[in-house]
Amino acid sequence: MAIKLIADPHGRFEDLTETIDADDTLLVLGDMLDLIDWADISGILADVLGRENLINKLMSAVREGPGAASNLRDRLLSSEGEYYPELFRRVHESYGTFIRVLEEIACEVYVIYGNGDIPELLEASLNGSSRVVLARGKVEIAGSVFGFVPGALYSPFMMPAEMDDETFGKHLAELGPVDILCTHIPPQLEAATMDVVAGRPVGGSTELLRYIEEHRPRIVYHGHVHQPAQRELLVGETRVINVAYYKRTGYVHTHDA
């Protein structure tokens, strides 16, 4: 039995059957959906809207500023919108594939959502699953106390799983001390947040850094930054580990108990 972790599968699920065994515990640190791959503007949104149409809408939103980005989000995710029925079908199908693969493996699974997920639809898809748990708070696994805090910080699109850092900090405060902390986003440290391929930092949490300094968990696991400047670093004695970009690498991290 091993505790294994992945992050950011973005629709890549089928080959988990090759690396995860039935007696493993799998922790999935967010972004199950492949709504949009910024590397080539592919994914569910491109399929539903058409790639050129999506690019045009994104460029318009960038030109017009943050308000336009959130308005675009509303038009896409509103149940009255023209794209919503097909978008809903594709999201439901993707989450369904994710759960089917994990049920086939028959391992124990704890999942948190990331900025690219739609929490309400993920939770609805998990309803009735006997093995896959939408995790929040403390769980004892193999003698260690794991803490799970889902979500991410606001982007210009202000997606349903996103929040401000103060709210994220409140969730951390409610959690309290744990041995191992699992989040989607990293602490606000340049080596953890800098995506060396994109050439820019990806949002990290100042509140998470404060939590680490105060409570000193043994390990913090996260994802979100696809190509980090540094995959593992120390904050005091806490190891902060990016468990890697599963969609591109297929890497499964094994927890060092």
pLDDT of 214 = 98
232, β-bridge pairs: 241
Q: pLDDT at position 85, please?
A: 93
Give the H or E element holding residue 45: helix 44-49
- Percentage, residues of the chain above pLDDT 90: 84
The strand ranges marked E within the chain are: 3-6, 25-29, 108-112, 132-134, 137-141, 144-149, 152-153, 162-163, 180-183, 194-195, 200-201, 219-222, 232-235, 238-242, 253-254
On whether the CB atoms of residues 181 and 147 are closer than 8 A, the answer is yes
Query: Domain limits at 164?
Result: 3-254
> 220 pLDDT exceeds 90?
yes
Whole-number pLDDT of residue 1: 86
Q: pLDDT by residue (tens digit) across 117-159? A: 999 999 999 987 888 999 999 999 999 999 999 999 999 889 9
Percent of the chain with pLDDT over 70: 100
Which pLDDT score is estimated for 211? 98
Nearest residue to 188 via CA among 201, 200, 176, 199? 201
- Cα 222 to chain centroid distance, Å, stands at 8
pLDDT of residue 174: 98
Q: What pLDDT is stored for residue 79 in this prediction?
A: 86
Residue 154: partners with Cβ closer than 8 Å, 6 or more residues away: 162, 163, 164
- Of 20, 18, 17, 15, nearest in space to 1 by CA: 20
Tell me the average pLDDT across 221-225. Answer: 98
Number of domains in the chain: 1
pLDDT tens-digit map of 163-212: 999 999 999 999 999 999 999 999 999 999 999 988 888 989 999 999 99
What pLDDT, on the 0 to 100 scale, is given for residue 179?
98
Number of alpha carbons in the 13 Å side-chain half-sphere of residue 231: 8
Helix (H, G, I), strand (E, B) or coil at 181: strand
> Does the structure show a pLDDT above 90 at 80?
no
Tell me: the pLDDT tens digits for 17-49?
999 999 999 999 999 999 999 889 999 999 999
CATH code for the domain in which residue 46 is found: 3.60.21.10
